[in-house]
Chains A and B, each alone.
Chain A
Amino acid sequence: MLIFFSLDTQEDREVFAEIYQANASRLLRYALSVLHSQADAEDAVQEVFLTLADKYERLKALPPEKIPGFLLVCTERKAIDLLRKRRDQLPLEECEELESRPLELPLESAAAGVLAELPAYYRELLLLRHGLGLSPREIAAGFGKSLSAIDSALFRAKRLFIRKYHEQEGTRHEP
């Protein structure tokens, strides 16, 4: 049984343990698919849960149904961050490829397709803001960045999405 000392109340610890039990295996599997290393994947997932514990006060207001999506996005970010930190040991192309890797998912709408193909960081920000309804402050807490950095990145991400979406729509409607 894990005891999360950073959580203040017994109730918080129990809720956190439930979140961990319900999601850790799934997140580890996803991290493995990105990092191809059990040790690295465990490190990435571990970091996600530590961040979650650290910012629990801000994030516990998140509706339960949105927690899996939030953790999935954070796991991708932690996995990519982990590789970026080791950039000097990896081929540069491999890091860049990961950052620009589209999500390969069966999607119905053209807009979702555009979103899935955005650079990973922009895609993650938009999913947290518009898919999960997190405030920029909550996203900043989850990603460990400043509010101004998140605000500015969100602005650029949304602008890029809209431009690419309208470009695609324009192409589709051309005679």
Chain B
Amino acid sequence: MSRKQTDDTILTNASAEVLTAWETSVSDKNDLSVNISEEFQRKIAALTEERNRCRENRLLIPATAVLLLFLVLVGLWLNPDSAAAGRVREWIGSLRVEQGIPEVRMAYLPEGLILVGDVQQEEERLLRFAFAETPELIEVTLRVQLQQKSSTPGPASESVTGSTAPGSEIFIEFIDSGKVYSWADPSGRYTLIMQSLLPAEENDKLVQGISLDD
């Protein structure tokens, strides 16, 4: 057998071994149930439908691309800050959270507002927080997720909607596989991640309202 044939055989056997071990390592974790959210399934169906619509209207694609480019350029012209993609601006404080989370770190990313705070509350499954100092009422929808600091992500809540009018509150309840999940963790192993699902311009208003310590 030539050297090349030997190398090919070694590579083929090694590939089969790695694939088998890899598949097994993923399958072994069946006890960690992962929900495939209805939203995820809807997104797949919607994206597939959208793409097929585009296929049927191929002539419209160049026109759409030109329109999108125009809108992006207009957006950049109107809001030059958004051109500085990747520059994360952070603010400390100014988000009032009852019973815990004395400080919440907020990072404003081009595609949305990300709020990050350490969960330090004990035995509490409802997170209650209120925005303060917002200049005007904004209907806000947040996607909220608990993330274990050790690396394994925890359960996510459904997206929640509330108002940022001063004094109003948003309640978040974590439910995983039908079981109410206690998000509180006295040892501080979890990080709470809240992602605003607002359009960018609404996020700007929200950020202007709460960025007291810029």
Contacts and interface: CB of A to CB of B under 8 A. Distances in A.
B51 to A, nearest CB: 7
Interface string A30-43: 10110011110110
B85 A69 contact: no
Contact of A107 (B21, B109, B151): B21
Contacts of A88: 85-86
A53 B110 CA distance: 31
Given A26-B27, A36-B151, A115-B11, A131 B18 contact: yes
Given A5-B48, A6-B48, A105-B21, A29 B32 contact: yes
Q: Decide if the interface of chain B is mainly helix, strand, loop or mixed.
A: helix
B16 A28 contact: no
A162 B5 CA distance: 12
Contacts of B85: 88-89
B52 interface: yes
B23 A68 contact: yes
Interface in A1-27: 2-6, 24-26
A170 B152 CA distance: 39
A153 interface: no
Contacts of B36: 24-25, 28, 42
B65 interface: no
Contacts of B147: 36-37
Bin the interface of chain B by size. Answer: 35 or more
Given A26-B26, A36-B151, A89 B88 contact: yes
Interface string B181-210: 000000000000101000000000000000
A139 interface: no
Interface residues of A, number: 52
A32 B34 contact: yes
Contacts of A112: 13-14, 17-18, 21
Interface centre among A115, A132, A165 (most CB of B within 10 A): A115
B156 interface: yes
B19 A127 contact: yes
Given A6-B51, A112-B13, A165-B7, 11 more contacts: A5-B52, A6-B55, A29-B26, A33-B152, A36-B147, A39-B143, A42-B36, A46-B47, A68-B23, A103-B22, A107-B17
Interface of B: 7-8, 10-19, 21-23, 25-27, 29, 32, 34, 36-37, 40-41, 43-45, 47-49, 51-52, 55, 85-86, 88, 109-110, 143, 145, 147, 151-153, 156, 193, 195
- CB-based closest 6 A-B pairs: A131-B15, A88-B86, A111-B14, A112-B17, A105-B21, A130-B15
